[in-house]
Structures are given as structure tokens and as C-alpha cells.
Amino acid sequence: MVSTPSISNLPATIAWENDGLSILDQTRLPHETVVEKLTTAEEVWRAIHELRVRGAPAIGVAAAYGLCVAMRASLHLPIAEFRAQLAKQAAYLDSARPTAVNLSWSLRRMLQAAQASPASETASLLRVLIDEAVAIHDEDRALCKGIGEHGLPLITEGCGVLTHCNAGALATTGLGTATAPIYMAHAAGTKFRVYADETRPLLQGARLTAYELQQAGVDVTLITDSMAASLMARGLVDVVIVGTDRVAANGDFANKIGTLALAIVSRHFDIPFYVACPSSTLDLHTATGDAIVIEQRRDDEVTHLYGQRIAPANMKVSNPAFDVTPHELVTGFITERGIVKAPFARNLATLFAMEGDAA
């Protein structure tokens, strides 16, 4: 058993204290550390939609607490109306972003907990919801730790690890997914290098991954997305580890735009390509990647940088936030229960066999 390394110099991505929800505003990092209290369903929806809290697992945890925050405003209702309102608020929060399955997964879990409860008073049903949200939060930390333990052997003395976007502590409430093996290898004293893609258009790699790894004392080098192939050609990358927003039953997976290109180039250079996937991100009800809805975001995320226009006015823009990588390009999924290799359809189903957590 590997102990969980401390990366406590980072503020908590999400905190639930005295029945109040607060998040670290990730759009302000790394320049400003701003913790924001969220007190209404609308504030939680906007925080998720605007990426102040982002990353698939963190979105799931924020939504679970967000539902508790939302339902506090309905405590005065008769219990039947409270339950009807609960379903409405869950559907509303679920509409904040479409691609990361953790959002609908955690909200469904919250609704199931309420359905299973015989509570006849709104205050006791709200307590059931809060307990379920705390359980989802606790489990998220445990999933990250499990991924770290199983991914640890992939990081060897002197190796180069490439990652994309931010699948780190900031994207979860624990050690991150793609970064969990990195933090554990670092804590174990292994010497290795990490290359962080900057991840245009919103720069999660530069602003978040480079920041949190640097804070933790990991040897991290920032590159632009277009430099990855050149680093690989020079023999500097031994393994690629990325996160994911949704893994379909056949192993096709969605992740931040640019992941597909990385997977193709990794195959060209015969570099192992791993996807860190907690069971909360596994969607066994989606058969293949073709069925994954890809979020399209605003044009100005591409035409502007920090409010400054960088493209001509009236420019036509395409801004898909994620892409889908076919399972044939994946070496393995690092899950909390072990590394899953091909054939993925069979091996993912065997390991996670349609449990409540993937339903």
C-alpha cells in the first residue's frame, strides 16, 4: 500500500464546510487564488458552465453539493413538492456541460439516494442528500489514490511523461487522475520529467497543470501543443498519461481537444498511451465514442486571449472543447482497480460489470 502524498500547498478545489459550498476559481489561476462561495443553483450552474470549477471528477462533486445548495431553498415545501423540485434542479444542473459523464453520474446517484429514502420531512431528506454528496466527495479522493497506486509502475527512473490539459488535483478533489501516479512517483523519490501541453484555447495545461506540478516540486516543463511530436521524435517522451471526460463501453474516450492528435502521434513513435479513468468517468451505457456529445464553446475563446483579440474581426471559428480518441490508440486505462488492457469492451465490462456506479 502506497501512502497518499501531501500536496496541501494547493487550496482545496471544492470545500463543503458548515453546510456551505465553496470552490477555488480556476479561471483566475495561477495569478490569483480566489475562493468563491456558491449559494444558489444558478451560481453553481454558472461556475460549472464557465469552468470556474472544471475537470470531470470535480464537476461531479460540485454538482452533488450544488444540488444540496439548491434544495435548501425548498425546505418549506410539502415533501412531495420537494421531491418534484429535486428532480427539476438535478436536470437543471445537469445541463451545465454535456461531455463529462461525471456530472449526470453524480446527479443520478443523488436522485437514487433520495428515492431510496423513506424520509417524510424535507429537512431529513436534505440530510440524506448531503450525506450522499459527502460520500461522492470522499470516494473521489479514494479513486484518485487507487489510480495513483496502479499507475505508479509506469513512471520509472529517468523517464519523460507527457500530459495534456489538466487531469490533476485541480480537476478532482484528490491527487488528480493522470497526475496521481506522478505525485506518487515524486513522493517515492523517483527522478523523472513531466511535459505539460499548454492546451489551447483555455490553457488548462499552462495555467493549471504546470502550476500545480510546480507547486508540488515536480520537474515540469511547459510546451505548446504543437511541440509534442517534436519532443517525441527527440526521444524525450517515454509515456503519455491523459485524463478523460467519458469512456464508452468499447474504450473510445472523450478528452480535451488535442488528445486525439497526441494519441495518433504516440502510436507513430510507438510510445505507450495511457488514459487515467476513475469508474465515475466510465459510461458503459454509451456503446462507442460516436455517441458522446461534444461541447461546442464560444468563439471568443479562440479569437481572444485574456480579453485581447488575436484574430481578425468577424472570423469564422470552430471551438469543440473535446475530441474522441478511438480505443485502438489506447495502451491501457489506469483505473482504481487496475490497468485495463485490450480487448477493452470485454475487460472494462468484466472489471466494472454494470454496477450502480456505472449505471
**Residue (125 or 178) nearer to ligand MRU, CB:** 178
> 26: closest CA among 2, 49, 1, 60?
49
Question: Looking at 172-226, which runs of residues are DSSP E strands?
Answer: 193-197, 220-223
**What is the Cα–Cα distance from 245 to 80, expressed in whole angstroms?**
34
163 - beta bridge partners?
196
**Residue (160 or 205) nearer to ligand MRU, CB:** 205
CA distances from 91 to 103, 105, 107, 263, 285 (A): 10, 12, 8, 34, 19
Q: Which position among 140, 197, 245, 323 bears the catalytic label?
A: 245
3-state secondary structure of 44: helix
Q: Is 245 marked active-site?
A: yes
**Residue (54 or 200) nearer to ligand MRU, CB:** 54
**Residue (122 or 259) nearer to ligand MRU, CB:** 259
CB 278 within 8 A of CB 336: yes
- Nine-digit cell string for 225: 501543443
User: Nearest to ligand MRU by Cβ — which residue?
Assistant: 243
CB 101 within 8 A of CB 246: yes
Give the relative orientation of helices 56-72 and 122-151 as an angle to the nearest 10 degrees: 170
Residue 350: count of CB within 10 angstroms of its CB: 9
3-state secondary structure of 24: strand
Report the run of H or E that residue 305 belongs to, with start and end.
strand 304-305
**Residue (14 or 165) nearer to ligand MRU, CB:** 165
Residues that bind ligand MRU (CB under 6 A): 51, 54-57, 100, 165, 167, 171-172, 177, 204, 243-245, 255-256, 321
Q: Which residues are catalytic?
A: 245
